[in-house]
Amino acid sequence: MLTPYVHKNTSVSLLRYHFVFCPKRRRKVLVNAVAQRLKELLGQKAAELGWTIVALEIMPDHVHLFLGTDPDVSPTQVMHALKGYTSRVLRQEFPQLQTMPALWTRSYWVSTAGNVSAETIQKYIEQQKTRD
């Protein structure tokens, strides 16, 4: 049975990030061929960097990405890699995107997730002193 845990020389981890990011001025440009190509590019870049896309939904004016990474990669590094790469390629392939000053906004939203809830972890830690 495959586990979602990432095994390294000195660590075992399960890091999942939920990202939401938008095109500049929240323009509805992520449709049809652009959306399909964005999905392919995100998959390619994630695979190249050893990351796992758990879920991906591309809306006309924003992207939801649920991604698994290594513990040595920060959310800022993830967004920098994905936004930079996809912006460059999409703007080369789709001339209508070149009229925008930039494809993506500089901002994004991120949250962490795992296999257990925050309440479960808190209870586990609180019960450590009472264990025999």
**pLDDT per 10-residue tile (average), the chain, 132 residues:** 75 91 96 97 97 93 93 95 98 95 96 78 75 59
Q: Which residues pair with 19 in a beta bridge?
A: 65, 110
Within 19-99, where are the H helices?
32-48, 75-93
Q: What is the pLDDT of residue 123?
A: 82
Q: What is the pLDDT of residue 97?
A: 96
Distances (CA, A) of 55 to 6, 12, 42, 64: 18, 22, 11, 8
| Distance (Å, whole) CA 3 – CA 14 | 10
| Distance (Å, whole) CA 69 – CA 72 | 8
Domain positions in the chain are 6-130
Q: What superfamily would CATH give domain 6-130?
A: Transposase IS200-like (3.30.70.1290)
Residue numbers annotated as active site: 124
The pTM for the full model equals 0.86
